[in-house]
Amino acid sequence: MEPTSKKLNKSAWSWALYDWANSAFATTVMAGFFPIFFKSYWASDLSDAESTFAIGSVNSLVGLLIAFSAPVLGAFADAGDSKRKFLFSFAFLGIITTGYLFFIPDSSWKLAVIFYGLGVIGFSGANVFYDSLLVTVSKEEERNRTSALGFSLGYLGGGILFLLNVIMFLYPNWFGLESQIDAVLWSFMSVALWWFIFSLPIYLNVKEPTQSSSGKSVNRIITEAFSSLLNTAGSIKEYKSAVIFLLAYFLYMDGVDTIIRMATSYGSDIGLSATSMIQALLLTQFVGFPATLVFGYYADKFGYKYSLSFAIIVYIFVVLFSSQMDTALEFYVVACVVGLVQGGVQAISRSFFSTLIPTNKAAEFFGFYNFIGKSSVFIGPFMVSGIALVTGSPSYGILSLLILFIPGLILLWMVPDKN
Query: Distance between CA 218 and CA 179 in Å, rounded?
Result: 49
Torsion, CA 305, CA 308, CA 312, CA 317, rounded to 10: 100
Q: What is the pLDDT of residue 367?
A: 63
| Ramachandran area for residue 176 (φ above 0: left; ψ -120 to 50: alpha; else beta) | left
Q: What is the pLDDT of residue 263?
A: 79
Q: What is the pLDDT along the chain (419 residues), one digit of tens a residue?
A: 344 446 778 888 998 899 899 999 988 998 889 988 898 899 888 888 888 888 888 888 887 888 777 767 766 666 555 778 888 999 999 999 999 999 999 989 999 999 999 999 999 888 878 877 777 787 766 665 676 677 778 878 888 999 999 999 989 999 999 999 999 999 999 999 999 999 999 989 888 766 555 556 667 766 766 676 677 777 777 888 888 999 999 999 989 888 877 777 778 777 878 788 888 888 887 787 777 767 767 777 788 888 899 999 999 999 999 888 888 888 888 888 988 888 778 778 877 887 887 766 665 676 677 677 766 667 888 888 889 888 888 889 899 999 999 999 999 999 986 54
Please report the DSSP string for 18-51 in residue order. HHHHHHHIIIIIIIIIHHHHIIIIISTTS-HHHH
Domains of the chain, residue spans? 11-206, 238-419
- Rounded alpha-carbon distances, angstroms, from residue 131 to 18, 128, 141, 174, 363: 10, 5, 17, 39, 12
The 3-class secondary structure across 204-266, one letter per residue, is HHCCCCCCHHHHCCHHHHHHHHHHHHHHHHHHHCCCHHHHHHHHHHHHHHHHHHHHHHHHHHH
- What pTM was estimated for this model as a whole? 0.76
Q: What is the pLDDT of residue 218?
A: 64
Q: What is the pLDDT of residue 376?
A: 66
- Cβ of 252: how many Cβ atoms within 10 Å? 27
What does DSSP assign to residue 356? S
Q: Are 52 and 189 in contact (CB under 8 A)?
A: no
CATH of 238-419, one of 1.20.1250.20, 3.30.1330.100, 1.10.760.10, 2.40.110.10: 1.20.1250.20
Q: Determine the topology of domain 11-206 in CATH.
A: Growth Hormone; Chain: A; (1.20.1250)
Query: Distance between CA 232 and CA 174 in Å, rounded?
Result: 55
Query: Distance between CA 139 and CA 184 in Å, rounded?
Result: 42
* pLDDT tens-digit series, residues 103-123: 999 989 999 999 999 999 999
Query: Distance between CA 129 and CA 15 in Å, rounded?
Result: 11
Query: Distance between CA 374 and CA 68 in Å, rounded?
Result: 9
Cα angle 39, 42, 43; round to 5: 50
What does DSSP assign to residue 228? H
* Helices 379-391 + 402-413 axis angle, to 10: 140
Q: Are 84 and 22 in contact (CB under 8 A)?
A: no
